[in-house]
Amino acid sequence: MSYWFSTREQRTTQLFLEETPNSCSNLAFEVFAHGIDSESAEVVVETLRFFKPRKIEVRALKEVPETSYNLIRHQYNGFLVAKWLDTLRTAKDSVVLGVLNVDAYVDPLNFIFGLALPELNLATVYVARLKINATKSGFIARIKKEVVHEVGHVFGLRHCRNKSCVMSFSNSLADVDRKDFRMCSTHYAELKNRVPCVSDELLQPPKTGT
């Protein structure tokens, strides 16, 4: 059962709630969105459904704390943002996902598309750079890939050497565009071991000869 809600002036405002009582897992996602439109939020929800969770809740953030903003770099500190998001969770065993329309970094990197902290059961995706030179469909595809990538890290997956696998490291937008939103067979098997209910739609089809 799914519900979309209207926004109100609060620290966080519930935008969406979907509960699937008959899900084969107890997985729950708490999504905190900042500065993204309803279509982008829907893409995030649709992507998280690949993991077959029992619950997905989306809340809108009124603002991102200025204490996490680096005035010299004009970017947000990814670690500080993540730690702040962790304080907003309502369930200790949920997976928190922040999707924010800001630019962020962690040392020694110049920027990040996202950050995962498995020890906190938390991930973030920063969409400001994903918009650069992107068509509407291209932007949506980039969000989808980064959400799968960072959530994959939360479940213990490491980077992949296969550049077409969604778990490959992206050092540029070209890297993001080059890869699939799905996983190679090795990484999918690892994910399936950790999240047995995950959809096989996240598995790349085998390559066929020409």
- Positions marked active-site: 150
Count Cβ atoms within 10 A of the Cβ of residue 42 and give its class: 0-12 exposed, 13-18 middle, 19 or more buried: middle
Taking alpha carbons only, the member of 55, 53, 81, 54 closest to residue 67 is 81
Cα distances (angstroms) measured from residue 113 to each of 49, 92, 126, 131, 189: 21, 25, 5, 11, 25
